[in-house]
Amino acid sequence: MGHMVHVVGADRLLIGSDYPFAIQEKEPGRALKQLALPEDQLELIQYRNCLSYLRATR
Protein backbone atom coordinates (compact mmCIF):
# COMPACT_ATOMS: atom_id res chain seq x y z
CA MET A 1 0.00 0.00 0.00
CA GLY A 2 2.82 2.41 0.80
CA HIS A 3 4.21 1.91 -2.71
CA MET A 4 0.80 2.63 -4.23
CA VAL A 5 0.48 5.86 -2.23
CA HIS A 6 3.88 6.89 -3.59
CA VAL A 7 3.10 5.89 -7.19
CA VAL A 8 -0.50 7.04 -7.70
CA GLY A 9 -1.15 9.24 -4.66
CA ALA A 10 -3.51 8.92 -1.71
CA ASP A 11 -6.19 10.79 -3.65
CA ARG A 12 -6.52 7.83 -6.06
CA LEU A 13 -6.85 4.95 -3.56
CA LEU A 14 -9.76 3.35 -1.71
CA ILE A 15 -10.09 0.71 0.97
CA GLY A 16 -12.71 -1.98 0.44
CA SER A 17 -13.93 -5.19 2.00
CA ASP A 18 -14.97 -8.69 1.01
CA TYR A 19 -18.31 -8.44 2.79
CA PRO A 20 -20.23 -10.72 3.43
CA PHE A 21 -17.18 -12.93 3.87
CA ALA A 22 -15.43 -13.11 7.24
CA ILE A 23 -12.52 -10.74 7.78
CA GLN A 24 -9.27 -12.68 8.05
CA GLU A 25 -7.42 -9.91 9.88
CA LYS A 26 -7.98 -9.61 13.61
CA GLU A 27 -7.53 -5.84 13.36
CA PRO A 28 -8.75 -4.58 9.97
CA GLY A 29 -6.99 -1.44 8.85
CA ARG A 30 -3.84 -2.08 10.89
CA ALA A 31 -1.67 -2.23 7.77
CA LEU A 32 -2.92 1.20 6.72
CA LYS A 33 -2.25 2.68 10.16
CA GLN A 34 1.27 1.22 10.16
CA LEU A 35 2.16 3.30 7.11
CA ALA A 36 2.20 6.38 9.37
CA LEU A 37 0.63 8.56 6.68
CA PRO A 38 -0.48 12.09 7.49
CA GLU A 39 -4.06 12.25 8.78
CA ASP A 40 -5.35 13.95 5.62
CA GLN A 41 -4.02 11.10 3.45
CA LEU A 42 -5.53 8.47 5.76
CA GLU A 43 -8.91 10.19 5.52
CA LEU A 44 -8.70 10.22 1.73
CA ILE A 45 -8.00 6.49 1.57
CA GLN A 46 -10.43 5.51 4.32
CA TYR A 47 -13.52 7.42 3.17
CA ARG A 48 -13.12 10.77 1.41
CA ASN A 49 -12.17 9.30 -1.98
CA CYS A 50 -15.19 7.00 -1.83
CA LEU A 51 -17.51 9.90 -1.05
CA SER A 52 -16.06 11.83 -3.96
CA TYR A 53 -16.42 8.86 -6.33
CA LEU A 54 -20.04 8.38 -5.29
CA ARG A 55 -20.66 12.14 -5.38
CA ALA A 56 -21.97 11.87 -1.86
CA THR A 57 -21.70 14.12 1.16
CA ARG A 58 -20.80 13.07 4.64
User: What residues does each domain of the chain span?
Assistant: 2-54
- This prediction's pTM: 0.79
C-alpha span between 50 and 36 (Å, rounded): 21
pLDDT at 27: 78
pLDDT attached to residue 57: 79
Give CA–CA dist 23/5, Å, rounded: 23
Please indicate whether residue 56 or residue 22 has the higher confidence score (pLDDT): 56
The 10s digit of each residue's pLDDT in 1-48 is 889 999 999 999 998 877 777 777 777 678 888 999 999 999 999 999
C-alpha span between 38 and 17 (Å, rounded) = 23
